[in-house]
């Protein structure tokens, strides 16, 4: 089947893409305005374009609307977050407690993302010595969704301060699905160019990635 002519991307696109990357933020504070279903579908279709080991496409999304299930997730977060704070060195516990690290009650769209470790898709290619590459593939789908969301003005917040077993039980997902991420999605209450953890004095972004020469 003849393919369409390959696209090229000019400097205008390069500049716009660099701006998108610079303004993508982890969002914890959202406006209550609903997100159009068509836009959620756009995000999920974009995520499905992500690369995956052996083209296994192991990402599985669970849209959580049930109040009882959400209550269970919030309760789990509160327990996990309290434990995480107590495990911080004494001198950082106050700063930790001042951080907002979730949008579980703020974002109109709550999405859990799993890795289907039981999928036969990809026939195991590329996974034999590194089975974790399936989860890596799911993370790439999440990041793709994150960028496309930001391009549409939407915010995404990743919450990992949860116990995977509790989330998995609460959502009653198929056997073999492994919890990877909880995403809070909605319209951010403000657009930030600097990561919140940096402005809060928790951790700045290093000037550039560390590269070794070998
Ligand atoms: C795997 C993983 C897990 C988490 C995160 C990210 C990733 C990649 N981040 C978001 C993280 O704090 C954020 O990406 C950095 O602070 C950088 O800020 P920006 O994303 O550039 O705004 C995150 N943020 C948060 O408030 N609660 C959380 O539990 C997590 N967990």
DSSP of the chain: -PPPPPP---HHHHHHHHHHHHH--B---B------HHHHHHHHHHHTTS--GGG---EEEEE---HHHHHHHHHHHHHHHHHHHHTS-HHHHHHHHH-----TTT-SEEEEEEEETT--TTTTTTTSS-TTHHHHHHHHHHHHHHHHHHHTT-EEEEE--S-HHHHHHHHTPPTTEEEEEEEEEE-BSS--SS-HHHHTTS-PPPSS------
Q: What ipTM does the predicted assembly reach?
A: 0.99
Residue 78 lies in a domain: yes
41-86 confidence digits (pLDDT tens): 999 999 999 999 999 999 999 999 999 999 999 999 999 999 999 9
27-50 confidence digits (pLDDT tens): 999 999 999 999 999 999 999 999
Res 152 pLDDT > 90:
yes
Q: Ligand 1 center to residue 166 CA distance, Å?
A: 20
What the block records as the tokens of 15 is 């500049």
Residue 5 lies in a domain: no
- Say what the pLDDT of residue 54 is: 98
From 132, 160, 199, give the residue whose CB has the most ligand 1 atoms within 8 Å, as the site to mutate.
160
Q: Ligand 1 center to residue 18 CA distance, Å?
A: 20
The burial of 26, by beta-carbon neighbours within 10 Å (0-12 exposed, 13-18 middle, 19 or more buried), is given as middle
Q: How much is the pTM?
A: 0.97
Residue 18 lies in a domain: no
- Say what the pLDDT of residue 1 is: 79
Q: Ligand 1 center to residue 195 CA distance, Å?
A: 9
Residue 211 lies in a domain: no
Q: Domain holding 105: CATH number?
A: 3.40.109.10
Domain count, the chain: 1
Tell which atom from ligand 1 comes closest to the C-alpha of 100. Answer: 26
Res 121 pLDDT > 90:
yes
Q: Ligand 1 center to residue 185 CA distance, Å?
A: 14
Q: Ligand 1 center to residue 6 CA distance, Å?
A: 34
Write the residue with the smallest CA distance to atom 13 of ligand 1. 26
Tell which atom from ligand 1 comes closest to the C-alpha of 161. Answer: 29
Residue 14 lies in a domain: no
Residue 8 lies in a domain: no
Alpha-carbon gap, residue 23 to 193, rounded angstroms = 5
Write the residue with the smallest CA distance to atom 22 of ligand 1. 25
Residues lining ligand 1, judged by CB closer than 6 Å? Answer: 25-26, 28, 101-102, 158-161, 195, 197
Could you tell me the residue range of the domain that residue 83 belongs to?
Answer: 26-121+128-194
Tell which atom from ligand 1 comes closest to the C-alpha of 192. Answer: 22
Residue 199 lies in a domain: no
Q: Ligand 1 center to residue 26 CA distance, Å?
A: 6
């Amino acid at each position: 089947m003849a393919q369409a002519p390959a696209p090229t991307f000019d400097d205008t696109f390069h500049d716009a893409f660099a701006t998108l990357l610079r303004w993508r933020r982890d969002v914890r504070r959202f406006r209550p305005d609903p997100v159009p279903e068509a836009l959620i579908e756009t995000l999920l279709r974009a995520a499905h374009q992500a690369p995956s080991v052996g083209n296994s496409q192991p990402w599985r999304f669970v849209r959580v609307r049930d109040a009882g299930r959400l209550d269970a997730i919030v309760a789990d977060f509160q327990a996990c977050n309290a434990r995480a704070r107590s495990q911080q060195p004494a001198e950082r516990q106050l700063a930790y407690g001042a951080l907002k690290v979730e949008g579980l009650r703020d974002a109109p769209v709550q999405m859990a993302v799993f890795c289907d470790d039981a999928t036969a898709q990809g026939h195991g290619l590329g996974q034999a010595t590194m089975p974790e590459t399936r989860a890596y593939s799911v993370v790439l789908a999440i990041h793709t969704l994150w960028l496309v969301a930001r391009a549409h003005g939407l915010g995404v917040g990743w919450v990992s301060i949860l116990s995977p077993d509790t989330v998995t039980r609460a959502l009653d997902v198929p056997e073999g699905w492994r919890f990877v991420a909880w995403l809070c999605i909605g319209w951010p209450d403000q657009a930030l160019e600097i990561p919140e953890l940096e402005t809060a004095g928790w951790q700045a972004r290093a000037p550039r990635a560390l590269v070794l020469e070998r």
